Amino acid sequence: MAMASDYTTVQYHSLQGRSVVITGGASGIGEEMVKAFVSQGARVSFIDIAKEPGGALASATGATFQACDVTDIPALREALARIEGDHGGIDVLVNNAGKDDRHDMAEIEPDYWRQALALNLDHQFFATQAVSKGMAARGSGSIIMLGSISWMRGRPGMVGYTTAKAAINGMTRTLARELGPSNIRVNCIVPGAILTERQRQLWLTPELNQQFLDLQALKFRLDGSHVAKMALFLASDESIGCTGANFIVDAGLTQN
C-alpha cells in the first residue's frame, strides 16, 4: 500500500530556505503540500479563504498563513506582495486552489459559469503574473499549476470545472514560453482520483471507490501526499530541465 506521507525519505537540498507559496493550502492536497515543503526546510506561506483551518495548520507547521479569497484578484495581489516583502521574494508558486463542484449543464447561468472559472482558472494566471516579475529579477523560479484528469476523461456533471482545467493545460505551455527566457519554469501537476476529506464527505461510496480501483493500473487509492511529492520534485532543482509539461499523478487511471 503506497499511501505514506513521510516527506523526509528524500531530501531536496535546493528547497532548504526557499520561499514557497501555496494557494488553497488549508485543506486537502494543499494541506499536504504545506506539510511536505515545511519538511524540506522551505519557508512556506499559504493562502486560503478558510481562516480557522488555515490558522490551525500554520500553528501546527510553522508556515505563514494569509487569509484571502483567491477570486478577489486585488486581495490576492496584495497577499502575494506582502509575502514577497516579508520573505525577500518568492521562489516557488504552487497554484493549487480550486473547487470541483458538480453541476448540471442545463442549469448553469452566466454568473455560475464565471464563478467556476474564477475558482479554478483565473487566479492561477493572476498569481503567476504577480510573482513573475520578482522571479525574473532574481533570474529563477518554479511555478506549478494544478490541472485534473477530469478534462482528459471528459467527465460529465462538472463542465465548468473541466473547462477550467483544460484551459490550464494551454496556459501552462504558453507561460512556459513567456517566462522561460527569465529562467522561470512553469509545469502542471495533473492529479487523478485523490482521496481527500472533501471527497469522503460529499461523494465517496464503496461502489465509487471500487470503480476507481478497477480503472486504475495501480490498485491503491491515491491521497494528497502523492501529489505533494510531485510538487517537491518540480519545485526543486532536480527538475531544472522541465518546463511546459503535464506531470500526471493518477495511478494509471487515464490509461482507460
Query: Which homologous superfamily is 15-255 in?
Result: NAD(P)-binding Rossmann-like Domain (3.40.50.720)
Q: 93 and 128 in contact (C-beta within 8 Å)? A: yes
Spacing of C-alpha 236 from chain mean position: 15
pLDDT tens digits for 137-179? 999 999 999 999 988 887 777 899 999 999 999 999 999 999 9
Residue 46, pLDDT score: 98
Measured in residues, the chain has a length of 256
Residue 92, pLDDT score: 98
Using DSSP's 3-state secondary structure scheme, residue 95 falls into strand
Rounded to whole angstroms, the Cα distance separating 187 from 93 reads 11
Going by C-beta distance under 8 Å and a sequence separation of 6 or more, which residues neighbour residue 188?
144, 145, 146, 147, 168, 169, 172, 245, 246, 247
pLDDT tens digits for 220-250? 999 999 999 999 999 999 999 999 999 999 9
Specify the residue for cell string 493550502: 25
**C-alpha triplet 157, 162, 164: angle, nearest 5°:** 135
Q: Among residues of the chain, what percentage have pLDDT more than 90?
A: 79
Using DSSP's 3-state secondary structure scheme, residue 242 falls into coil
Spacing of C-alpha 22 from chain mean position: 7
- Domain spans, the chain: 15-255
Please tell me which residue in 7, 12, 112, 161 is annotated as part of the active site.
Answer: 161
pLDDT tens digits for 88-116? 999 999 999 998 887 888 999 999 999 99
Going by C-beta distance under 8 Å and a sequence separation of 6 or more, which residues neighbour residue 1?
220
Distances (CA, A) of 176 to 3, 22, 117, 119, 202: 31, 19, 21, 22, 35
Spacing of C-alpha 45 from chain mean position: 14
C-alpha cell at 189: 501537476
Taking only Cα atoms into account, the Rg of the chain, rounded to an integer number of angstroms, comes to 17
Residue 161 annotated as catalytic? yes
pLDDT band at 254 (very low <50, low <70, confident <90, very high): confident
Q: 135 and 180 in contact (C-beta within 8 Å)? A: no
